[in-house]
Amino acid sequence: MESNAADELLVELDCLRIYRSGKMDRLHRPVLAPAGVDAVTGVTSKDVVVNADTGLSVRVFLPARPDPSKKLPVLVFFHGGAFVIESAVSTTYHSYVASLAAAAGVVAVSVEYRLAPEHPVPAAYDDAWAALQWAASGKDEWLAEHADNGRLFLAGDSAGGNMVHHVLIRAASSHPAPRIEGAILLHPWFGGNTLIEGEPEATARDMAKIWEFACPGAVGGADDPRMNPTAPGAAGLENLRCERMLVCTGEKDWAGARGRAYHAAVTASAWRGSAAWLESEGEGHVFFLEKPECAKAREVMDRVVVFISGS
């Protein structure tokens, strides 16, 4: 009996399968963490619905601190997962952002954005922008009481790092737009139709398929400017609307070649900010989520803390 062409596998990874028919199996269903007091860090969190119509919500993290009257920077965080999996309230991201809030002394706003294919890209980008505007408005009681929204930061890992770039570019053409002091791109996911030096061919091919699955309207496949910030037609990097940037990757990160190329392009552009760089020797993609207590993960966290402090 002939197999149905629609059932043909396009991509098979540990966490998902994508079929030619457009169906996707999520093989990794994250365990969800409740909001409340985090036993490890002492950070308190709560969930807030930002837009009931779209379903956009955020988890807000407030660290314990000796001087409750001292206002804290705000960090808006976008989780990774190739736009199709994971959650801001999974145990992985709850633990990571709680640790980040405690270590850096920030009020963190972790964004539960809509996932593809149920909500194709650009839904995630729209949610990221809406969450930034909500955080910057200071309307939430925790943000109003504890946050200094004059010190606003963005951060994200993998697809979330891609979203950070997109929000920075969008801010250039939006008026008014919040002033963003700094941006942290942790192992950001970028791509392109033409391989660059150090980019693994098989992984790049699979990730391009996932991108086109998540964003059916992609123009030029992986050379869509949302995936390839240096493609023809992409907004100039001088339009990045932040004052400082930190780009991190791993020596063995499949996305590392693109991360290095992105940092180099930003540095060489007419952007007037400063772009710092950290590559973790011997480490793979988002290793700091899988083994947060290892020495290299602590090094990444320490670098992020120093970056936010401005020292």
> Which residues does the annotation mark as catalytic?
158, 253, 285
Token pair belonging to 253: 């990160």
278 SS3 class = strand
Cβ pair 57, 135 in contact under 8 A: no
Question: For residues 164 and 247, what is the distance between their CA atoms, to the nearest angstrom?
Answer: 11
Q: Quickly count: other Cβ atoms within 10 Å of residue 310's Cβ.
A: 11
CA distance 279 to 281: 6
Q: How many CB atoms lie within 10 A of CB 243?
A: 15
Count Cβ atoms within 10 A of the Cβ of residue 107 and give its class: 0-12 exposed, 13-18 middle, 19 or more buried. buried
Block residue for tokens 């952007």 = 271
Helix (H) or strand (E) holding 12: strand 9-12
Query: Tokens 């270590």 — which residue?
Result: 103
Separation between Cα atoms, residue 213 and residue 221, nearest integer Å: 10
CB contact at 8 A, 137 and 177: no
Degrees to nearest 5, angle at CA 91 with 32 and 74: 105
